[in-house]
Structures are given as C-alpha cells and as structure tokens.
Amino acid sequence: MTKVVIAGGSGLVGKRLTQILIDKGHEVAWLTRKIKPSQPIKQFEWDVKKQTIDNTVFDFAEVIINLAGAGVADNKWTETYKKEIYDSRILSTQLFAHALGKHKNTVNTFISASAIGIYGNNTELNTSENSPAANTFLAKVCEDWETAVKPIENLGIRTGIIRVGVVLATDGGFIKEVSTPINLFFGAALGSGKQETSWIHIDDLCNMFLYLIENKNLSGVYNGVAPAPETNKKLTQILAKQLHKPLILPNAPGFIIKLLFGEMGDMLLGSQHITAQKIMGTGFTFKFPHAQQAIADLVK
C-alpha cells in the first residue's frame, strides 16, 4: 500500500483517480482549500495564493500527484482568467518545491499533470515528447509548469510528468459538452472537422498515473493520449451514433467559434496529432486504444 496525496482530487480526473487508487489498495488523501467533514477522503489544507500548506501532509505522503489548476475551458480567456490559469498551476508546483525542500518528509515520488497544449494548437503527425514547446499562451503555461517541477527533482525525488490530451469521461469534458447539443439535434463538428484530436479515456489516463506510481524505474515526461487520434468530425459522429441521434446541422463555422470564444477558439479549432509510443514502449497497455471503444464504454 502506498500513501498518495492528490492536489486537485475533487476534479474530474482526481475523483476517478482516487477511486482507482483505493480499489488497488492504496491510501489516498486530498489537499484542499477547505476541509469538508462530510468528505470520506482524508484531507489536508493548503492555500496556493497565500503559499501556505499543512506540513503534516509530508508526514503522510509517499507520493504526491499534482492535478491542481483552473479549468482551461471553464471561462472565456480574459487577462484575469488567463492569470488564474497560469498561477494556479505554477504557484501550486512552486509551493510543493518550497515546502518539500524546507520540511522533513517521506515523499519519494512527485507526478505532475501537464498538457499537450505545450505543442501548440497545430502539430505535425506523431508529435512526440521530444518536440519543442510552441509559442502560444497554453504552451507557455505548460512549459513553465514543467519547469517548476525541476527543483523537486533536484531534491532527489523521482518525478514524472503526464501531458494530458482531451479527456473522454462521462461527467465532464468533450462528451458532456458535445452530448447536450447532439441530444437537442444541434450537434455539429467544429470548423472543418478535419482537425486531429488526441484524446484519452479517463480510466486509461488514471491508470497511467498509477503505472508511474508502481513502476519506480520510470521518470520524465509522457504523453497522456490514446494511440489512435481521431478527427473532430469523426469523434462527433461516433458520439452521435452512440446516442442514437442524427447530425443534421453543417459544421459550426470557424469564424463563429473564434467570435464566441476569442483566443480560446484557436485551441478549440486546433489540430493535435500526438503519439503515445513512449509510454507504450515501457510496457503500458491501453484498455481503450480506439475512440469507438472508449465512447461506447462511457455512453451507455
């Protein structure tokens, strides 16, 4: 049994990861801004903005997983919200680095989320972990996020980074957002629909975190994507078919997407074809390597 602390445990990925870890026999605690007595998970308080943390967490934790961060698609990208997206990720990691360096602890592994946004809105086919960071807002966030992990690695703690793709899950993300208009017969692909989407089933993503925890010889950066990217149009068609609904409307024009979402529209219309070869090369296997399997499992 390993004692795992998750920052961002109450989020979409964090909740599912918590359940998977518990099912595998690990003990899980969350870092939270306010302890909720009704929550059955063990909790420790922290405040990223104030850079404070309950140091007793380091007497408990053997592994820390950092999923903390304001939702990228939760609000329009005003300058204020862009700062929140940036600070919530970089400052949380810096808080960990400072506290781990200052306080005696039992932590042997630190795993951080990042995102395939580091490669930019439009990538080459089979973009790998060796590809350089792009020159976009999200790429800058991810690059600085990953850089903030370095001081933790310098403490002698094993570190891993998973660059997360588009997460397919029942309770949020692509499926939830696209299912609603499809069910109302307003579903449509975005822009040309030809843009590549590097997606991953939430269980495969969580199992990737578990895999890095349990395989102590592994460290470094891995793409958190399934091995078979699909176009936006194909993903939308698969989801509509699973929901037994037709796609009546033409694709949503790109200029409308940009008008509605501003700078975030470039991300929504981006084409990212990212390879999963590195993690697969270590022996990791995907339960849902193809989108048809993944969406059929999630939409029943």
* Residue 247 CB-half CA count within 13 A: 20
Mean pLDDT of the chain: 95
Residue 133 counted as domain residue: yes
Structural domain boundaries enclosing 95: 3-169+199-225+274-286
Q: Where are the beta strands (DSSP E) in 37-129?
A: 42-47, 52-53, 63-66, 109-115
pLDDT tens across 39-85, in order? 899 999 999 999 999 999 999 999 999 999 999 988 999 999 999 99
Residue 99 placed within a domain: yes
Q: Would you say residue 60 lies in a domain?
A: yes
Here the tokens at position 117 are 């946004």
Which structure tokens are listed for 159? 């570190």
Question: In the chain, what percentage of residues exceed pLDDT 70?
Answer: 100
Looking at the structure of the chain, the number of domains it has is 1
Phi, psi values for residue 168, rounded to 5°: -95, 120
With DSSP H G I counted as helix, E B as strand and the rest as coil, what are the percentages for the chain, rounded to 5?
A: 40, 20, 40
**Confidence check: pLDDT of 265 > 90:** no
165 in any annotated domain: yes
Residue whose tokens read 């850089």: 147
Q: Distances in Å between the alpha carbon of 271 and those of 3, 33, 45, 120, 204?
A: 38, 36, 39, 9, 22
- Mean pLDDT, residues 248-267 taken together: 83
Query: Residue 221 forms beta bridges with which residues?
Result: 161
Greater model confidence, 254 or 232: 232
Angle subtended at Cα 89 by Cα 87 and Cα 92, rounded to the nearest 5 degrees: 90
Tens digits of residue pLDDT in 180-238: 899 988 899 999 999 999 999 999 999 999 999 999 999 999 999 999 999 999 999 99
User: 198 near 204, Cβ under 8 Å?
Assistant: no
Residue at token pair 């304001």: 70
Residue 266 has pLDDT above 90, yes or no: no
Residue 164 within any structural domain of the chain: yes
Eight-state DSSP code of residue 192: T
For residue 30, is it within any domain? yes
For residues 125-145, average pLDDT: 97
pTM of the predicted protein model = 0.96
Distances from the Cα of 219 to the Cαs of 263, 270, 276, 285, 291, in angstroms? 34, 29, 16, 17, 28
Q: Is 292 part of a structural domain of the chain?
A: no
247, pLDDT greater than 80: yes
Q: What is the CATH number of the domain that holds 143?
A: 3.40.50.720
Predicted pLDDT of residue 136: 96
The whole-number average pLDDT for the span 156-166 is: 98
Q: Give the orientation angle of helix 232-242 with respect to helix 291-298, to 10 degrees.
A: 40
Determine the average pLDDT of the residues in 158-187: 93
Half-sphere exposure at residue 70, Cβ-oriented, CA atoms within 13 angstroms: 19
- pLDDT greater at residue 149 or residue 173: 149
- Report if residue 161 sits inside a domain: yes
